Amino acid sequence: MNLSFFDQFTSPCLLGIPLILLSMLFPALLLPSPGSRWITNRLSTLQSWCIDLITKQLMTPLNMNGHKWALILTSLMILLLSINLLGLLPYTFTPTTQLSMNMALAFPLWLATLLTGLRNQPSASLGHLLPEGTPTPLIPALILIETTSLLIRPLALGVRLTANLTAGHLLIQLISTASTALLSIMPAISILTTIILLLLTILEVAVAMIQAYVFVLLLSLYLQENI
Model confidence pLDDT, tens digit, residues 95-138: 888 888 899 999 999 999 988 888 888 777 777 777 777 777 87
Alpha-helical segments (H) within the chain: 20-30, 42-59, 70-86, 99-120, 122-127, 139-151, 153-182, 187-225
Under 8 Å between Cβ of 82 and 9: no
Instruction: Give the residue among 195, 156, 147 at the shortest CA–CA distance from 175.
Output: 195
Half-sphere exposure (CA, 13 Å, Cβ side) for 147? 7
Residues 6+ apart with CB under 8 A from 180: 190
Is pLDDT at 3 greater than 60 in this prediction?
A: no
DSSP-derived letter for residue 1 is -
- Distance (Å, rounded) from C-alpha 12 to C-alpha 209? 24
Instruction: Give the residue among 196, 168, 161 at the shortest CA–CA distance from 8.
Output: 168
Higher pLDDT, 65 or 27: 65
Q: Hey, is 14 helix, strand or coil?
A: strand
Model confidence pLDDT, tens digit, residues 41-99: 777 788 888 888 888 888 887 888 888 888 899 889 988 998 888 888 887 788 888 88
For a pLDDT cut of 90, what percent of the chain falls above it? Answer: 21
* Cα dihedral 124, 127, 128, 133 sign: negative
The pLDDT of residue 35 is 64
